[in-house]
């Protein structure tokens, strides 16, 4: 290679988006493709990848493992549920756990994962740890898919300022051939298939030096391991849990009930409001002549239709307004939450004031107009 040409290149090699982002995006794309439910990130560092993955809706269990507890703690709070997760609990359940420990040790908490990622991890391992790594990840954890990324040392010549390794803590950096033979050996040994790819395109004309970051994607060839095999595995926990967040989910009866009660009362309130304002239309206030509702407001149209079609009219009796549960149940949001009418009745029992026969939500409007 022409030396001048190469030097010229070192000036301009810069990845956009940055390489680490490209690695994360690679994992995200993989998640989109395979829809894993349980994902673990080994060497999760400041949890950036985990934070990105928590937005992927297929994932129900996220785990991170790192040898350094401090770096995990630095930003682990970003993995906590947000206010919106509490007032709009999502359909899926999600648990995020961070463990402090080494990839050279087996811990049962790492069993049963669909996807395990090890981005820029192996090059930080001491020789003894690297030796144990395949058995822990592929033999013990045995997830469906494993992603391993590591620097491609053939690319280093193009990176400005890199002398020996890209990071002082790196114990080695492999060429494509070195990485691939290591990976193929593992695949053979633990019955996985492996495909090689990478991120960080080499410049045109230099394709043969390969990607800046080389990636191996391993897919398990045999089906899910049975219970019997797992029971032979050691069950002693060696990792220390440093963080755990259980996201509110509608799968949890408590959150489902709250969500249903909220939605029922809210829907009933709207219906009541419409009913009352209709009754007030006969006032002598010319400015309040009910203007025809705009297109944005499809709610009232819907209500009209409903009342006409199914005869589920809300009504006023004395100081009370009654809104039939059947009407409320027919609203899409309530319907979706509960599924069946019986479930609706069960969930709101004792929590929402109902008419004596339990068929309608009841509001007392006597004190409505009271003011301070």
Partner 1 sequence: IGLQVSSGLQDLTLRDRGGRRRDFHDLGVNTRQAMVHVQESKTGFSGKMIKLTTNHFRLTSRPQWALYQYHVCYSPEMEARRLRSALLFQHEETIGKTHAFDGSILFLPKKLESKVTELFSRTRSGEDVKITVTLTNELPPTSPTCLQFYNIIFRRLLKMLNLQQIGRNYYNPSDPVSIPNHRLMVWLGFTSSILQYEESIMLCADVSHKVLREETVLDAMHSLHSQVGEERFRDACAKELIGLIVLTKYNNRTYRIDDIDWDNNPKGTFRKSDGTEMSFVDYYKKQYNIEISDWMQPVLISQMKRGRGNIQGSVALIPELCSLTGLTDKMRSDFSMMKDLAIHTRLPPEQRQRELGRLLTYIQKDDNVQKELRNWGLSFEYKSVSFTGRVVQGEKIFQSGTMFDYNPQFADWTKETRGVPLIRAVPMDSWLLIYTRRNYDVANTLLHSLLKVTPSMGIRMNKPDMIEVDDRTETYLRVLQQRVTPDTNIVFCILSSSRKDKYDAIKKYLCTECPIPSQCVLARTLSKPQTIMTVATKIALQMNCKMGGELWSVEIPLKQVMIVGIDCYHDTVSGKQSIAGFVASLNQPVTRWFSRCVVQSPGQELVDGIKACLQTALRNWSKWNKCLPSRIFVYRDGVGDGQLNTLVNYEVPQFLDCLKSIGTDYSPRLTVIVVKKRVGARFFAEIGGGLRNPPPGTVVDTVVTRPEWYDFFIVSQTVKNGCVAPTHYNVVYDTSQLKPDHVQRLTYKLCHMYYNWSGIIRVPAPCQYAHKLAFLVGQSIHREPNLMLSDRLYYL
The residue ranges that bind partner 1 (CB under 8 A) are 16-17, 51, 55-57, 74-75, 77-78, 80-84, 86-88, 159-163, 166-168, 258, 261-262, 264-266, 269, 283-288, 291, 293-294, 296-297, 299-300, 367-372
As given in the structure block, the two tokens for residue 156 are 């280093």
Three-class DSSP category at 65: strand
Closest distance to partner 1 from the beta carbon of 337 (Å): 13
Least distance from C-beta 236 to partner 1, angstroms? 23
Q: Which residues contact 315 (CB under 8 A, 6 or more apart)?
A: 321, 322
Min. distance of Cβ 51 from partner 1 in angstroms?
7
Q: How far apart are CA 19 and CA 117, in angstroms?
A: 16
Look up residue 308 and give its DSSP letter. Answer: H
3-state secondary structure of 25: helix
Residues 6+ apart with CB under 8 A from 92: 57, 58, 59, 60, 249, 251
Residue with tokens 């040994």: 189
- Beta carbon nearer to partner 1, 192 or 363: 363
Residue 30 near residue 145, CB atoms below 8 Å: yes
The length of the chain is 372
Nearer to partner 1, 84 or 228 (CB): 84
Closer residue to partner 1 (CB): 184 or 265: 265
Query: Which one, 294 or 317, has the nearer CB to partner 1?
Result: 294
- Closest to partner 1 by CB, 51 or 138: 51
Write down the least CB distance from residue 269 to partner 1, Å.
Answer: 7
CB of 191 to partner 1, least distance (A): 33
Question: Which residue's CB is nearer to partner 1, number 38 or number 54?
Answer: 54
What is the CB neighbour count within 10 angstroms for residue 302? Answer: 13
Residue 213 carries which DSSP code? E
**Least separation in angstroms between CB 118 and partner 1:** 19
């Amino acid at each position: 290679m022409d030396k001048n040409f190469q030097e010229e290149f070192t000036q301009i090699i810069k990845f956009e988006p940055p390489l680490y982002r490209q690695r994360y995006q690679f994992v995200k794309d993989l998640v989109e493709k395979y829809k894993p439910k349980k994902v673990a990130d080994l060497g999760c560092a400041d949890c950036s990848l985990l934070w990105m993955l928590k937005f992927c809706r297929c994932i129900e269990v996220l785990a991170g493992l790192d040898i350094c507890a401090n770096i995990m703690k630095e930003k682990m709070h970003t993995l906590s549920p947000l206010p919106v997760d509490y007032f709009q609990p999502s359909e899926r359940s999600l648990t995020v756990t961070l463990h402090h420990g080494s990839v050279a040790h087996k811990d049962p908490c790492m069993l049963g994962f669909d996807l395990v990622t090890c981005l820029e991890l192996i090059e930080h391992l001491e020789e003894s740890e690297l030796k144990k790594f395949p058995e822990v990840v592929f033999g013990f954890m045995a997830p469906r898919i494993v992603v391993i990324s590591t620097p491609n040392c053939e690319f280093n010549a193009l990176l400005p300022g890199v002398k020996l390794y890209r990071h002082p803590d790196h114990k080695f950096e492999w060429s494509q051939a070195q990485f691939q033979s290591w990976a193929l050996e593992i695949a053979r040994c633990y019955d996985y298939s492996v495909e090689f790819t990478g991120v960080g395109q080499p410049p045109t004309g230099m394709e043969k030096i390969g990607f800046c970051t080389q990636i191996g994607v391993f897919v398990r060839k045999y089906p899910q391991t049975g219970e019997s095999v797992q029971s032979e595995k050691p069950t002693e926990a060696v990792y220390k849990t440093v963080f755990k967040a259980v996201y509110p989910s509608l799968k949890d009866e408590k959150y489902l009930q709250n969500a249903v009660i909220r939605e029922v009362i809210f829907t009933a309130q709207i219906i009541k409001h419409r009913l009352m304002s209709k009754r007030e239309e006969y006032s002598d206030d010319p400015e309040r002549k009910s203007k025809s509702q705009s297109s944005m407001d499809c709610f009232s149209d819907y209500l009209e239709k409903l009342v006409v079609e199914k005869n589920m009219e809300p009504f006023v009796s004395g100081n009370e307004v009654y809104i039939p549960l059947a009407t409320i149940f027919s609203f899409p949001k309530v319907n979706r939450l509960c599924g069946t009418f019986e479930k609706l009745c069960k969930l709101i029992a004792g929590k929402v004031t109902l008419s004596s026969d339990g068929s309608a939500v009841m509001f007392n409007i006597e004190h409505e107009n009271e003011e301070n």
